[in-house]
Amino acid sequence: MRPITRRPLLAALLATPAIARAQPAWPHRPVRVVVPFPPGGSNDVVARPLAERLQARLGQPFVVENRGGAGGAIGAGQVAQAPADGYTLMVTSSSFATTAILQKPGWDAEASFDAVALLARAPFFIMVNPTFPARSVAELVALAKARPGGIDYASSGAGGINHFISEYFCQRAGIRMNHVPYRGTAPAVTDLVAGTIPVMITTVASANAAIRDGRVRVIAATAPMSGSGGGGLPPEVPPVPLVTEAGIDYEAAIWWGLLAPHGLPAGTRGAIHAAVGGALGDAALARVYAAEGATPSPVGPEAFPAILKADLARWREVARIADIRAE
């Protein structure tokens, strides 16, 4: 019988690395969470409390970094170029899809990213100045049909999500209104309150104080939330009907989601999705999101990629019909 020499034994050990060199479970070091917008916006409101809960649950730092610029395109580009290892994530919103369509950045919304988890949703609301004669969607549509292009509506900027959802409403309602773009939501809401602009479709968070004080009139919600058509409004404000209740086939909601560089290992992707789902069940987190008029919205692992894909198709068609272009 031949003796076992040291060299074959060493070779045998090196040839069986699966257990000896197995990677530790995710996460085993700090995780970077990129928000591709400046601090203080709704993406921050969603990302930071989520990061706090993930850190508490998983025992590793989740560090939120704001990388604003170009409507989110710059920060998204940095994430797209990061390793697909679960240690660079991005929290973004519906505007991710419209930015991808209009700006044609150096990344692709689907091919460059994995859509890992839907975080929250919020309806938009059709708001009018209290002096504007329309008190319902039906009355607004009737006025717009009587004066094609004669009614102004505000948006936060040409090519922004407010622009898209407003043109989509016009297309579904068979009307034409005049787009007045602003440089941001705040000045648009200011002019809505002043009566300079009669109509705007935006979120509760964008006009919370004006809604509470009755300085704008909310006439409809664009999507259901919290089990009712008026979900997402301040509690002291009466619920409003859905746009669909006026017989218009129109529904639009803003979402916030977690994305990662494309190519995450299946196990890592599953671990992230499960951890996020657990964090979204936190009641205190739901209260934080409620300040944005939003509701935590965990869905199955295949649902968020389908939502993103559908949004991209819808907004491409809206942009084509309305000739929406980047500023």
Q: What is the pLDDT of residue 23?
A: 60
Q: What is the pLDDT of residue 7?
A: 53
Task: Sketch out the chain's domains with CATH numbers.
Answer: 31-121+254-322 (3.40.190.150), 125-251 (3.40.190.10)
How would residue 66 be classed by pLDDT, with cut points 50, 70 and 90? very high
Segment 8-24, tens digit of pLDDT = 444 544 554 444 355 67
Average pLDDT over residues 316-327: 91
Q: What is the pLDDT of residue 102?
A: 92
**Pair 307, 120: CB distance under 8 Å:** no
Segment 168-200, tens digit of pLDDT = 999 999 999 999 999 989 999 999 999 999 999
Segment 219-246, tens digit of pLDDT = 999 998 654 444 578 877 888 999 999 9
Residue 324's alpha-carbon distances to 72, 87, 134, 157, in angstroms, are: 18, 36, 27, 11
Q: What is the pLDDT of residue 36?
A: 95
Q: What is the pLDDT of residue 327?
A: 67
Segment 121-139, tens digit of pLDDT = 999 999 999 999 999 999 9
Average pLDDT over residues 246-268: 96
Q: What is the pLDDT of residue 165?
A: 97
Segment 36-59, tens digit of pLDDT = 998 988 899 999 999 999 999 999
How much of the chain, in percent, has pLDDT values that exceed 90?
78
Distance CA 294, CA 291 (A): 7
Average pLDDT over residues 243-255: 96
Distance CA 115, CA 304 (A): 6
**Pair 114, 259: CB distance under 8 Å:** yes
Distance CA 174, CA 168 (A): 10
Distance CA 106, CA 108 (A): 7
Q: What is the pLDDT of residue 234?
A: 80
How many CA atoms lie within 13 Å of 276's alpha carbon, on the beta-carbon side?
30
Q: What is the pLDDT of residue 222?
A: 95
Question: For residue 18, how many other CB atoms are within 10 A of its CB?
Answer: 6
How would residue 210 be classed by pLDDT, with cut points 50, 70 and 90? very high
Distance CA 293, CA 291 (A): 5
Average pLDDT over residues 63-68: 95
- What is the model's pTM? 0.88
